[in-house]
Amino acid sequence: MAYKITDACINCGACEPECPVSVISAGDSIYVIDADGCIDCGACANVCPVDAPIPE
Ligand code: SF4
Ligand code: SF4
């Protein structure tokens, strides 16, 4: 399991410093998660103002 950031992302950057394994980064259009490193903790979803990160 890993989280994925959807198109709802508004590029606020709030999630990036909250990830305990630092797998969130700014992508070309929205923030992105490196699914290989995601430990499915949900911290990014907890701080996102638009609920863009979703488990998949
Ligand atoms: Fe990082 Fe946790 Fe979000 Fe995965 S679910 S990207 S480990 S904050
Ligand atoms: Fe995008 Fe939400 Fe992360 Fe902000 S907190 S950069 S809106 S995914």
Q: Which domains does the chain have, with CATH numbers?
A: 3-55 (3.30.70.20)
User: In the prediction, which pLDDT does 53 show?
Assistant: 98
Cα pseudo-dihedral 33, 37, 39, 44, rounded to 10: -20
Q: Is the CB of 40 under 6 A from ligand 1?
A: yes
pLDDT at 21: 98
What are the CA-CA distances from residue 10 to residues 6, 7, 47, 54 (Å)?
10, 8, 13, 15
| Interatomic CA distance for residues 38 and 3, integer angstroms | 7
**Predicted local confidence at residue 37, as pLDDT:** 97
What's residue 22's pLDDT? 98
* Residue 31: strand, helix, or coil: strand
pTM, two decimals, is 0.96
- Find out whether the beta carbon of 52 lies less than 6 Å from any atom of ligand 1: no
Tell me the pLDDT tens digit for each residue of 2-39. 999 999 999 999 999 999 999 999 999 999 999 999 99
Given this model, what pLDDT does residue 17 score? 98
Nearest protein Cα to ligand 2, atom 2: 48
